[in-house]
Structure 1
Amino acid sequence: MDLLEDAPGSNAHEFTVSELSGAVKRSLEDQFGRVRVRGEIGRVSRPSSGHLYFDLKDDRSVLAAVTWKGQAAKLAQRPEEGMEVIATGRITTFPGQSKYQLIVDQIEPAGLGALMAMLERRRQALAAEGLFDDARKRPLPSLPRVIGVVTSPSGAVIRDILHRLRDRFPTRVLIWPVAVQGDGCAPQVAAAIRGFNDLAPGGPIPRPDLLIVARGGGSLEDLWGFNEEAVVRAAAESRIPLISAVGHETDTTLIDFAADRRAPTPTAAAEMAVPVLADLAARLAESQVRLTRSSQRQVERPRQRLRDLARGLGRPAVLTEAARQRLDLWAGRLDPALHGLVRNRRHQLAARPIPMALLSRFTDRKAHALQGLAHRLDAGVARRMERRRDRMTTMGERLDASLARVVAVTRRTIETQDRRLIDLSQRLETGVHRAIRDRDHSLQRVDRLRLSLGHEATLKRGFVVVRGPDDSVITSVAEARRHARLNLQFADNQYLGVRPEGSSQKPVRKQAQPEQKTLF
């Protein structure tokens, strides 16, 4: 469109604001159709519309940049303030504010140094939120029943993990296939971690007891998906213990800091996840021996204690022997004492006359007192013996009850351990049978390979082995002519003797030799 038109009274053409803005826009777009601009990202704005506004600047100038909503979701690298990038797009103007801007559709870091700087800033920001604290890391289960693996289903990583788990302790494995590189890596890995955590316990798909996020080695750009904030937050929020096995031993990603445990390689992650079956069986056998000894001690200790208490109590007859002996002793002394007392009273009466009535009353009173004394003595001894007998009966009942409780507890403990031992023994026997069957199949495959590579199969196709008289193999005509007789070995292991120079003598068939086998 030609905007230069003659105007009356002036040589300069009059433009409207829209005309001038449109001309400037077409000029910029024609001159800078598609450009690559290198600079540092300054201000970043993400309004609710979904568009992305930011600045590209260097030490002298600032360039406004915008990425529309549809293209912002496809960016391989999200712009962050302070990040040095190379932005690709087209120059245009925004007439509403009389400024020019860069419409960006592709962003890439400006070298490895920029990536490392951005990675360090992101690590510090996430660490400040407490996502990498050791206090929030959970211990790994000692014997997981189900293990969830987040990785690519077609790579060598999953085969290494399954092979190591099969060798150490066969366990059920659930695989969540994801992309481990590229634009879809971060959202797929984050969704897989959250998906495993959302599984309901006891549902149709078992909920894993342990998660492994694995990938082989690669460059920093290849592993960048595991440095994304979405993946790190998903790993930190996981309620299931998680092992990070991304890259090789020298590779470090941000998911390693958020995971509960970091493994240097995927194979090492499988070794962390499960113990060795043989070591577990050995520890189980040792624990069973210790349990048996402990159970025997638990039974023997109360039994010995009961024997000791029984020796301390003594026999009931022994408790009354001393009292009975003292009674006999005092009873033997009582009769002479009574006779002596009577004599003394008689002498006193003889010296001083006493009325016969008074004497009779005195004698009756003394006899009655002696009878009461003897009765009280017998009653006291009987009560004392009864109290001792009741005490011994009570102590015996208490000892019987204590022994019964100890025996019952010990029996329950032994029965529980027996059931556990039987269950583990059955599992161990099943694992051993499976291992023997696998080794047998492998041995059969190797034997078939040996037979196919051996010379017996070649003999069955019409070939023979030429041997000398000393049973050495002949491989050339010159060597054959040095011998007077040659032996030919056929597929049926029969030997036929021939002469190498065409002798007229008939060949002599040799007796069948024992079968000769060659091991490869």
Structure 2
Amino acid sequence: MSDMFEDGPGSVVAPSGNSPEFTVSELSGAVKRVIEGEFGLVRVRGEVGRVSRPASGHMYFDLKDDRSVIAAISWKGQVAKMQVRPEEGMEVIATGRMTTFPGQSKYQLIVEDVSPAGAGALMAMLEARRKSLAAEGLFDEARKRRLPYLPSVIGVVTSPSGAVIRDILHRLRDRFPRHVLIWPVAVQGQACAAEVAAAIRGFNAIAPGGPVPRPDLIIVARGGGSLEDLWGFNEEIVVRAAADSQIPLISAVGHETDTTLIDYASDRRAPTPTAAAEMAVPVRMELIAGLDGQGARLLRAVVQGVGARGQRLRDLGRALPRLDSLTVAAAQRFDLWSGRLGGALVLATSAKRARLDRIAAPMRPRLLLDLVARRHDRLAERDRALTAAQTRRMDRAAERLALLSARLAPALTRAFADAGRDITRTREKLLMLDKRLQAAPALRLDSLSKRLDALDRTRQTLGYAETLRRGYAVVRDSDGVITTRFAAETAGALEIEFHDGRFATAPRTKPTKPTPATPPGGQGSLF
């Protein structure tokens, strides 16, 4: 803290008391050491607030509950190791260490790992991600493409060491051998999502006609597993790569009951990797048999069609008239119209010339000159009116500008005076708040310590262990705590708990419930 505080221009206030002086850096360092020493490694459960991912690769987000918010940060290397990335609205358990950021006078949590707060939270996050991607249209049926009937090259994205690729190759060899390209990837773990997305984009980036053949179909395959094992195929980067693929894609991830987000974005979903191979190619022997049958049917159809059309042509030919009877009438009409054509042309030309003379008679050069003069006078009149209107408008604008200029100087003077008064009031308020801030931590810490002591005494008083110390006991049987005498008599073995331990009684024969005795005279007892 500084030795003096300024209280308005020209005045100095001396510090009160003999408190030790700290520099800002010394005080910030002391606070940092206290917080890091008390909270070396903590696990915090809360809801993820806003999430920010700048170009540096670090991740900034908030952890909050219904009353408080903690700023959290994960460095680039820690983000790369996370199996689950925090998203806004998730309830997570964050593991890390507390520290301070002196540049902004705030404390924050350096998060090393994030895990969902239970399987329900993981499924809720998966459903929220599915709805978000569906709202973008990535799962629309209109985006899906038809699979090629007989692809020449098939690209398979899977692990080269698992049983999945052997099942696919074996099934393709049995049905219809094809050229297969294998892109090896990790099918679970941290690298799964990035490698699968890169493989899908890599197949799409292969140029047609190049040294490496471009696949006509892509199969993304993996065997069954738990939700965590298949989580890589639920990542947004994989779903977007599958939706953007220009090559038709079959998703064969897990067993028939397993569903991942890539299943919604792919063009077809196969229940198993073997079923994906069956979808990719037909059975060769069935195609050969079908082609033979179709060839025989085509040959029979051609022979029957040619014969039927030949017979139809012969039948129609017998019904046609003679050729000269069809052309005689047309030739006679042609001769008649050709003889009348010359006279009709002369009459039409004469009629058109007479009409032209009637239309051109009123058109004289003098009429055109008069029309041009009238239009010129009208244009000059409109020009004079426009000039006068512009002059009046500029005069009004100049008068308004002069009026506003005269009002501007007093307004600026008043604004500067108001700003000076506001600055003075703000400085006084800041000095008062600084004094309250110096005293607040000690008062708050004392209040919290007293509250903690009171809560601990209440916990000890209300616990049933204190009741046992006062001479009471808890009686249990195999069904739980016994609270009635009849239940204790009918129970087999009993377990009795005192404040210093428990012991069990030997099993007994359960008696039947006693029937209340009726006193002489038939009058029942009131008790």
Verify same fold: TM over 0.5.
Answer: yes
Instruction: Provide the C-alpha distance between the structure 1 equivalents of 2:198 and 2:174, rounded to a whole number of angstroms.
Output: 30
Instruction: Provide the C-alpha distance between the structure 1 equivalents of 2:183 and 2:35, rounded to a whole number of angstroms.
Output: 50
User: What is the Cα deviation at residue 62 of structure 1?
Assistant: 1.4
Identity among equivalent positions (%) equals 75
User: What is the Cα deviation at residue 84 of structure 1?
Assistant: 1.3
Q: What is the letter of the counterpart of residue 291 of structure 1?
A: L
**For 1:341-380, what aligned pairs fall within 5 Å after superposition?**
none
Q: What is the letter of the counterpart of residue 269 of structure 2?
A: R
**For 1:137-156, what aligned pairs fall within 5 Å after superposition?**
137-156=144-163
Instruction: Provide the C-alpha distance between the structure 1 equivalents of 2:307 and 2:42, rounded to a whole number of angstroms.
Output: 91
Match for residue 304 of structure 1 among 294, 298, 311:
311
Instruction: Provide the C-alpha distance between the structure 2 equivalents of 1:55 and 1:9, rounded to a whole number of angstroms.
Output: 40
User: For each residue in 1:345-375, what CA deviation from the matched residue of structure 2 results, as whole angstroms up to 9, or x when unmatched?
Assistant: xxxxxxxxxxxxxxxxxxxxxxxxxxxxxxx
**For 1:272-311, what aligned pairs fall within 5 Å after superposition?**
272-311=279-318
Q: Name the SS for the 1:73 alignment partner.
A: helix
Paired position in structure 1 for 2:268? 261
Q: Does 1:212 align with 2:219?
A: yes
Match for residue 108 of structure 1 among 89, 105, 115:
115
**For 1:35-434, what aligned pairs fall within 5 Å after superposition?**
35-312=42-319, 387=324
Alignment coverage as a number of residue pairs: 314
**For 1:458-477, what aligned pairs fall within 5 Å after superposition?**
none
Q: What is the letter of the counterpart of residue 78 of structure 1?
A: R
Paired position in structure 2 for 1:466? none
Instruction: Provide the C-alpha distance between the structure 1 equivalents of 2:82 and 2:60, rounded to a whole number of angstroms.
Output: 14
User: What is the Cα deviation at residue 18 of structure 1?
Assistant: 1.7
Instruction: Provide the C-alpha distance between the structure 2 equivalents of 1:156 and 1:180, rounded to a whole number of angstroms.
Output: 12
Paired position in structure 2 for 1:383? none
User: What is the Cα deviation at residue 166 of structure 1?
Assistant: 1.1
User: For each residue in 1:80-110, what CA deviation from the matched residue of structure 2 results, as whole angstroms up to 9, or x when unmatched?
Assistant: 0111111111111111222211111211222
Paired position in structure 2 for 1:502? none
Instruction: Provide the C-alpha distance between the structure 2 equivalents of 1:285 and 1:49, rounded to a whole number of angstroms.
Output: 64
**Alignment CA distance shift 1:283-1:18 (3 Å):** same
**Alignment CA distance shift 1:283-1:12 (3 Å):** same
User: For each residue in 1:428-449, what CA deviation from the matched residue of structure 2 results, as whole angstroms up to 9, or x when unmatched?
Assistant: xxxxxxxxxxxxxxxxxxxxxx
Any stretches of 5+ residues in structure 2 without a counterpart?
1-14, 329-527
Instruction: Provide the C-alpha distance between the structure 1 equivalents of 2:253 and 2:72, rounded to a whole number of angstroms.
Output: 35
User: What is the Cα deviation at residue 388 of structure 1?
Assistant: 6.9
**Alignment CA distance shift 1:388-1:15 (3 Å):** closer
Instruction: Provide the C-alpha distance between the structure 2 equivalents of 1:195 and 1:47, rounded to a whole number of angstroms.
Output: 26
Of 277-286 and 22-31, more deviation after overlay is shown by 277-286
**Alignment CA distance shift 1:284-1:32 (3 Å):** same
User: What is the Cα deviation at residue 390 of structure 1?
Assistant: 10
Instruction: Provide the C-alpha distance between the structure 2 equivalents of 1:51 and 1:79, rounded to a whole number of angstroms.
Output: 13
User: What is the Cα deviation at residue 69 of structure 1?
Assistant: 2.9
- TM-score w.r.t. the length of structure 2 is 0.57
Q: Name the SS for the 2:229 alignment partner.
A: coil
Q: Name the SS for the 2:307 alignment partner.
A: helix
Any stretches of 5+ residues in structure 1 without a counterpart?
1-7, 320-385, 392-520
Instruction: Provide the C-alpha distance between the structure 1 equivalents of 2:320 and 2:141, rounded to a whole number of angstroms.
Output: 61
Q: Name the SS for the 1:160 alignment partner.
A: helix
User: What is the Cα deviation at residue 60 of structure 1?
Assistant: 2.5
Q: What is the letter of the counterpart of residue 86 of structure 1?
A: I
Q: Name the SS for the 1:269 alignment partner.
A: helix
Q: What is the letter of the counterpart of residue 193 of structure 2?
A: A
User: What is the Cα deviation at residue 72 of structure 1?
Assistant: 2.5
User: For each residue in 1:279-308, what CA deviation from the matched residue of structure 2 results, as whole angstroms up to 9, or x when unmatched?
Assistant: 212211221112111221332233213332
Q: Does 1:24 align with 2:18?
A: no
Q: Name the SS for the 2:203 alignment partner.
A: helix
Q: What is the letter of the counterpart of residue 256 of structure 2?
A: E
4+ aligned runs moved over 3 Å, structure 1 = 8-12, 309-314, 386-391
Q: Name the SS for the 1:81 alignment partner.
A: coil
**Alignment CA distance shift 1:40-1:387 (3 Å):** closer
Higher gyration radius (CA): 1
Instruction: Provide the C-alpha distance between the structure 2 equivalents of 1:230 and 1:106, rounded to a whole number of angstroms.
Output: 20
Instruction: Provide the C-alpha distance between the structure 2 equivalents of 1:114 and 1:195, rounded to a whole number of angstroms.
Output: 34
Instruction: Provide the C-alpha distance between the structure 1 equivalents of 2:64 and 2:181, rounded to a whole number of angstroms.
Output: 49
Of 154-163 and 304-313, more deviation after overlay is shown by 304-313
**For 1:500-519, what aligned pairs fall within 5 Å after superposition?**
none
Q: What is the letter of the counterpart of residue 35 of structure 1?
A: V
User: What is the Cα deviation at residue 24 of structure 1?
Assistant: 1.2
Q: Name the SS for the 1:161 alignment partner.
A: helix
User: For each residue in 1:407-437, what CA deviation from the matched residue of structure 2 results, as whole angstroms up to 9, or x when unmatched?
Assistant: xxxxxxxxxxxxxxxxxxxxxxxxxxxxxxx
Instruction: Provide the C-alpha distance between the structure 1 equivalents of 2:70 and 2:22, rounded to a whole number of angstroms.
Output: 27
Instruction: Provide the C-alpha distance between the structure 2 equivalents of 1:42 and 1:52, rounded to a whole number of angstroms.
Output: 12
Match for residue 20 of structure 2 among 9, 13, 23:
13
Indicate the RMSD between aligned Cα atoms, in angstroms: 2.3
User: For each residue in 1:199-233, what CA deviation from the matched residue of structure 2 results, as whole angstroms up to 9, or x when unmatched?
Assistant: 11121111111111000000111101100111101
Q: What is the letter of the counterpart of residue 307 of structure 1?
A: R
**Alignment CA distance shift 1:47-1:389 (3 Å):** closer
